[in-house]
């Protein structure tokens, strides 16, 4: 309560520090390579053909690009059937129609069986799955797995990854004095550097191949109990920007583990032990080849044919909390990586000491001493008595260090989920829902028009969306008993700050301090939930997990290297789709075969595309800086939505009340830039615009380039601005008008911060075609291609409001009217979302479509996406 009562300006200097720290993201880093010249060296006395040359040789038909298919049509029908088709039976029935399709199209197969035979026998692919039997407690289980070494070769040797592979660790710094460390991809973390040092001590010239494993049981059907237990693998040598795109196939399905629940074992404790032993027995079988390969190394070629001695080492294990406990053999309710017990998980300020691997391994060595001795030793070491955990003999692997942070389950499905539940309990649910329904629309905001209080089975994505507006709808709500809301607001702000900063694609030693400060802001104010009677403690593993984010980022790079969101998406492609392609009988043998064929078709498609591009060598790519803000490009449609809209229509339907006057002022000011504001006003009063209609657009789009795209940098839409009057839908309903608010550059705006920027509501987007421009401008004046009529809101204050740290904004009124002007569309930086200042109770007459016109005061929303969060200081 003392913290709530005492006015505080402490966060303001911290904001300035963060701005300085994040400005460094946009500068070229100082790169220090690992000091040994032999690290990651090539083997020059041996030669390996490139991956594409090896693939071509395996096909054996150099004169036929589509081999083993006869023609382009033959190949494209096969690709459609396997990647887009309706199923094997339907495809066979299609080919049998009148018996003419095969001959008319010149196909080399008459049905699915013959097509499958061509794919199985004549197309090279990734390693095949094999069925093995694992015996645990006298019971036999089926395991479908691949050779892990061959999977490593396939990923490391993929031609598409060759230009980007990291083969030596580096230290990146943001300053010339090398005091501010940068972290992003895995090779910039401490783990790779220290592991390289250990391996080099024995085997100079090593190339570290960090292995990232992930496992997670998933339901295959909406109804019933069919499930799969996939294990995925990727390599830290591949940039994270490529790894997180499923279409790039940087993850490989390594195995399907047995899904038996061992229900025949009636004792629950015995059943849990048997399930853990089964899991580790399967993983031990899969990873056994790494025991020697990690120490002595293997010869491995990248896609460009360069041969190196690689040391495959398990670096990270990605999974949710139950999976982390299973992997580390730690009891439920404890920290899987540190020695903090359940009763102290809520102690935000206490340090979590890492578990002692040597002590754990000593306990595991007691297995031969007998059951009681072994169980006592494991209990003292803080683990369950599992028989030979799979990581027991893996070289250079510390499993307690390898367990990584998980934004999806720990933050969105953990802390944020808890926070929303606490807020619903402490505040009036009806009022929360009413405010949700009155938020203005925005490209990056999902509107929950039925509220959030009665949502069921809320996904991580929905928690992400709710976190984008939750603070804005509670800042002026009354707490029970008339308590001050300051601590509540600060606690929520701390969680949101932590969640957003934890997802930065780049961190520095300075931003990690800010990340920790956000965590402590929550812990210093969390007792407000105790005072409200909602909680009696915070011993929650997911709340405790926040303490490990800085260490994990320093060891393995930023959290997008190992977020389970990436592997959750793989369940669709590599488990659910595969199951639906089977006949549900002996499904795993069918699923693995279906996946092998699909992978072969995708690989052949890559090869055919490479041949048609002239068989180019892999490009030489300089290190790409994964900064927090990629440059965004404004994009406009080639043609206007409406070719000619009259001024009076703009005034009545678009709300551009002073369009003609604003256009006159803009023309006068652009024609003579030396005029003062007063002179422009006088001159424009006597200027008559010689036309009364302009072409109008209804969208502004913003795109961000992907420098890792297959065909060179490509753009994806990341933001948009909607400007459209009301209209009638096909079913007769009225679609309300929408005029979005934007962040506009008034002359000297930077990449982050509010200096030089101002918020405006866009009412019209239009252009002045050459025929119109010639009527109003002299020949030496070329107006911007696209213009916008905007109504201005107040300028940003030097500092945001206290506690919630958002900027207060209101309409700019001049002579009783809204102040409006015309600006070049190029001055618009991006869209911006505004929170209405609701007061004690949200007014009934406010609606989502009219709140921007009816509400007098707003707060600028920094939570719409990470780009805005890093921009709006």
Compute the distance between CA of residue 218 and CA of residue 338 in angstroms, rounded to an integer.
Answer: 28
Compute the distance between CA of residue 302 and CA of residue 153 in angstroms, rounded to an integer.
Answer: 8
Q: Is residue 597, in this structure, part of any structural domain at all?
A: no
What number is the average pLDDT over the span 647-652? 96
19 pLDDT tier (thresholds 50, 70, 90): confident
Compute the distance between CA of residue 858 and CA of residue 855 in angstroms, rounded to an integer.
Answer: 7
pLDDT at position 10 is 44
Q: What is the mean pLDDT of the chain?
A: 92
Give the residue from 725, 718, 758 showing the smallest Cα distance to 742. 758
* DSSP structural state of residue 25: G
Residues 6+ apart with CB under 8 A from 26: 627, 629, 751
What number is the average pLDDT over the span 415-443? 95
pLDDT at position 615 is 87
User: What percentage of residues in the chain have a pLDDT greater than 90?
Assistant: 77
* 657 exposure class (CB count in 10 Å sphere: 0-12, 13-18, 19+): middle
Number of Cβ within 10 Å of residue 843's Cβ equals 14
What number is the average pLDDT over the span 108-112? 93
pLDDT at position 137 is 77
Q: Is residue 443, in this structure, part of any structural domain at all?
A: no
pLDDT at position 629 is 54
My answer on whether 660 and 780 are in the same domain is yes
712 pLDDT tier (thresholds 50, 70, 90): low
The two tokens of residue 22 are 């994040």
My answer on whether 648 and 689 are in the same domain is yes
Give the residue from 433, 536, 523, 428 showing the smallest Cα distance to 479. 428
Compute the distance between CA of residue 491 and CA of residue 513 in angstroms, rounded to an integer.
Answer: 18
Residue 314 near residue 49, CB atoms below 8 Å: no
Residue 162 DSSP SS3? helix
Number of Cβ within 10 Å of residue 832's Cβ equals 28
Residue 134 near residue 282, CB atoms below 8 Å: yes
206 pLDDT tier (thresholds 50, 70, 90): very high
Rounded to the nearest 5°, which phi and psi values hold at 719? -165, 155
pLDDT at 62 over 90: no
pLDDT at 713 over 70: no
Residue 154 DSSP SS3? helix
* DSSP structural state of residue 187: G
Compute the distance between CA of residue 644 and CA of residue 71 in angstroms, rounded to an integer.
Answer: 50
Number of Cβ within 10 Å of residue 200's Cβ equals 18
Q: Is residue 317, in this structure, part of any structural domain at all?
A: yes
My answer on whether 570 and 661 are in the same domain is no
Residue holding tokens 């070769």?
153
Residues 6+ apart with CB under 8 A from 807: 754, 796, 797, 800, 801, 859, 860, 872
623 pLDDT tier (thresholds 50, 70, 90): low
pLDDT at 714 over 80: no
Q: Is residue 480, in this structure, part of any structural domain at all?
A: yes
My answer on whether 108 and 134 are in the same domain is no
Compute the distance between CA of residue 871 and CA of residue 753 in angstroms, rounded to an integer.
Answer: 5
Domain that holds residue 75: 69-122
pLDDT at position 630 is 58
My answer on whether 774 and 831 are in the same domain is yes
Strand duo 139-145 + 130-136: pairing: antiparallel
Give the residue from 121, 119, 237 showing the smallest Cα distance to 599. 119
Total count of residues recorded for the chain: 873
Best-predicted range by mean pLDDT (6-10, 297-301, 802-806)? 297-301
My answer on whether 76 and 163 are in the same domain is no
pLDDT at 333 over 90: yes
Compute the distance between CA of residue 162 and CA of residue 664 in angstroms, rounded to an integer.
Answer: 57
My answer on whether 97 and 177 are in the same domain is no
pLDDT tens digit sequence for 132-160: 999 887 889 999 999 999 999 999 999 99
pLDDT at position 86 is 76
My answer on whether 296 and 357 are in the same domain is no
My answer on whether 418 and 314 are in the same domain is no
pLDDT at position 9 is 47
Residue holding tokens 């965590």?
519
Q: Is residue 460, in this structure, part of any structural domain at all?
A: no
pLDDT at position 2 is 40
My answer on whether 793 and 739 are in the same domain is yes
- Domain final residue, candidates 90, 122, 154: 122
Q: Is residue 596, in this structure, part of any structural domain at all?
A: no
pLDDT tens digit sequence for 735-758: 999 999 999 999 888 888 899 999
Residue 793 DSSP SS3? strand
Q: For 290-294, 552-556, 699-703, 867-871, which range has the lowest pLDDT when averaged over its residues?
A: 867-871
668 pLDDT tier (thresholds 50, 70, 90): very high
Q: Which residues of 148-165 are buried (b: 16+ CB within 10 A; e: fewer)?
A: bbebbbbbbbbbbbbbbb
What number is the average pLDDT over the span 417-426? 94
Give the residue from 599, 54, 608 showing the smallest Cα distance to 303. 54
pLDDT at position 4 is 40
pLDDT tens digit sequence for 256-278: 999 988 878 888 888 899 999 99
My answer on whether 848 and 866 are in the same domain is yes
pLDDT tens digit sequence for 42-56: 998 888 899 999 999
Angle at 20 between CA 19 and CA 21, to 5 degrees: 90
pLDDT at 346 over 90: yes
Does pTM top 0.85 for this prediction? yes
Residue 395 near residue 287, CB atoms below 8 Å: no
Residue 178 near residue 32, CB atoms below 8 Å: yes
Compute the distance between CA of residue 831 and CA of residue 630 in angstroms, rounded to an integer.
Answer: 16
What number is the average pLDDT over the span 709-717? 69
My answer on whether 547 and 570 are in the same domain is no
pLDDT at position 626 is 65
Q: Is residue 547, in this structure, part of any structural domain at all?
A: yes
Strand duo 206-215 + 307-318: pairing: parallel
The angle that helices 509-525 and 549-556 make with each other, rounded to 10 degrees, is 160
Q: Is residue 448, in this structure, part of any structural domain at all?
A: no
**696, containing H or E segment:** strand 693-697
Compute the distance between CA of residue 546 and CA of residue 538 in angstroms, rounded to an integer.
Answer: 13
For the chain, the domain total comes to 5
Give the residue from 780, 761, 731 showing the smallest Cα distance to 832. 761
25 pLDDT tier (thresholds 50, 70, 90): confident
């Amino acid at each position: 309560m003392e913290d709530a009562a005492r006015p505080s300006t402490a966060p303001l200097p911290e904001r300035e520090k963060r701005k300085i720290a994040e400005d460094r993201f946009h500068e070229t880093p100082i790169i220090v390579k690992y000091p040994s010249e032999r690290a990651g060296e090539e083997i020059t006395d041996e030669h390996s053909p490139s991956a594409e040359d090896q693939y071509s040789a395996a096909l054996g038909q150099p004169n036929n690009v589509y081999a083993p298919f006869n023609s382009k049509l033959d190949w494209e029908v096969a690709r459609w059937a396997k990647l887009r088709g309706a199923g094997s039976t339907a495809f066979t029935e299609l080919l049998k129609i009148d018996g003419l399709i095969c001959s008319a199209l010149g196909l080399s197969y008459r049905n699915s069986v013959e097509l499958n035979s061509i794919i199985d026998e004549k197309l090279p692919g990734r390693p095949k799955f094999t069925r093995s039997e694992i015996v645990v407690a006298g019971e036999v289980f089926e395991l479908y797995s691949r050779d892990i070494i061959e999977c490593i070769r396939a990923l490391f040797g993929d031609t598409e990854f060759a230009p980007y592979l990291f083969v030596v660790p580096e230290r990146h710094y943001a300053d010339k004095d090398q005091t501010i460390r940068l972290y992003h991809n895995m090779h910039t973390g401490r783990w790779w550097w220290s592991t390289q040092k250990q391996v080099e001590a024995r085997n100079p010239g090593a190339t570290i191949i960090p292995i990232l494993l992930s496992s997670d049981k998933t339901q295959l059907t909406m109804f019933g109990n069919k499930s799969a237990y996939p294990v995925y693998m990727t390599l830290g040598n591949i940039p994270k920007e490529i790894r997180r795109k499923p279409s790039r196939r940087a993850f490989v399905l390594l195995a399907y583990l047995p899904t038996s629940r061992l229900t025949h074992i009636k004792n629950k404790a015995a059943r849990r032990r048997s399930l853990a032993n089964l899991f580790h027995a399967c993983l031990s079988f899969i990873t056994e080849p790494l025991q020697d390969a990690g120490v002595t190394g293997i010869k491995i070629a990248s896609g460009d044919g360069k041969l190196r001695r690689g040391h495959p080492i398990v670096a990270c294990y990605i999974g949710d909390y139950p999976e982390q406990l299973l992997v580390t053999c730690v009891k439920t309710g404890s920290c899987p990586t540190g020695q903090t017990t359940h009763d102290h998980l809520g102690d935000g300020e206490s340090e979590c000491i890492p578990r002692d691997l040597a002590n754990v391994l000593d306990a595991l060595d007691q297995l031969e001493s007998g059951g009681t001795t072994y169980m006592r030793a494991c209990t003292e070491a803080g683990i369950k008595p599992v028989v030979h955990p799979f990581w027991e003999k893996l070289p250079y692997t510390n499993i307690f260090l390898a367990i990584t942070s998980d934004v999806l389950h720990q933050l969105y499905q953990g802390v944020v989920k808890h926070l929303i539940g606490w807020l619903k309990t402490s505040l009036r649910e009806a009022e929360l829902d009413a405010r949700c329904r009155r938020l203005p629309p925005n490209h990056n905001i999902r509107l929950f028009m039925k509220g959030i209080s009665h949502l069921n089975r809320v996904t991580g994505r929905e928690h992400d969306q709710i976190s984008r507006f939750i603070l804005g709808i509670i800042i002026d709500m009354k707490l029970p008993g008339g308590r001050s809301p300051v601590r509540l607001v600060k606690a929520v702000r701390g969680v949101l700050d932590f969640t957003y900063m934890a997802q930065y694609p780049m961190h520095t030693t300075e931003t990690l301090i800010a990340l920790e400060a956000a965590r402590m802001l929550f812990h210093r104010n969390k007792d407000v939930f105790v005072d409200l009677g909602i909680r009696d403690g915070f011993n929650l593993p997911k709340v405790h997990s926040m303490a490990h984010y800085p260490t994990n980022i320093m060891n393995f790079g930023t959290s997008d290297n190992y977020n389970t969101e990436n592997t959750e998406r793989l369940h669709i492609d590599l488990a659910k789709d595969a199951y639906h392609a089977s006949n549900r009988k002996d499904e795993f043998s069918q699923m693995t075969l279906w996946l092998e064929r699909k992978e072969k078709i995708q690989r052949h498609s890559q090869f055919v595309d490479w041949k048609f591009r002239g068989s180019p060598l892999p490009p030489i790519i300089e290190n790409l800086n994964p900064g927090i803000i990629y440059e965004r490009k404004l994009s406009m449609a080639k043609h206007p939505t409406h070719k000619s809209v009259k001024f009076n229509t703009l005034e009545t339907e678009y709300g551009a009340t002073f369009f003609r006057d604003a256009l006159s002022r803009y023309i006068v000011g652009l024609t003579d830039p030396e005029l003062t504001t007063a002179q422009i006003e006088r001159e424009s009063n006597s200027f008559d615009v010689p036309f009364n209609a302009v072409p109008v657009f209804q969208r502004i789009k913003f795109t961000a380039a992907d420098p890792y795209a297959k065909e060179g940098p490509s753009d994806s839409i990341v933001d948009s601005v909607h400007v459209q009057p009301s209209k009638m839908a096909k079913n007769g309903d009225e679609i309300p008008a929408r005029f979005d608010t934007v962040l506009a550059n008034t002359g000297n705006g930077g990449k982050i911060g509010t200096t030089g920027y101002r918020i405006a509501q866009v009412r019209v987007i239009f252009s002045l075609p050459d025929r119109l421009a010639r009527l109003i401008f002299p020949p030496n004046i070329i107006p911007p291609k696209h213009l916008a009529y905007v109504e201005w809101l107040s300028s940003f204050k030097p500092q945001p409001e206290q506690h919630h740290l958002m900027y207060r904004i209101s309409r700019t009124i001049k002579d009783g009217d809204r102040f409006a002007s015309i600006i070049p569309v190029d001055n618009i930086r991006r869209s911006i979302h505004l929170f209405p200042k609701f007061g004690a109770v949200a007014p009934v007459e406010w609606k989502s479509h009219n709140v921007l016109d009816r509400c007098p005061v707003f707060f600028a929303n920094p939570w719409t996406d990470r780009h805005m969060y890093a921009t709006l200081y």
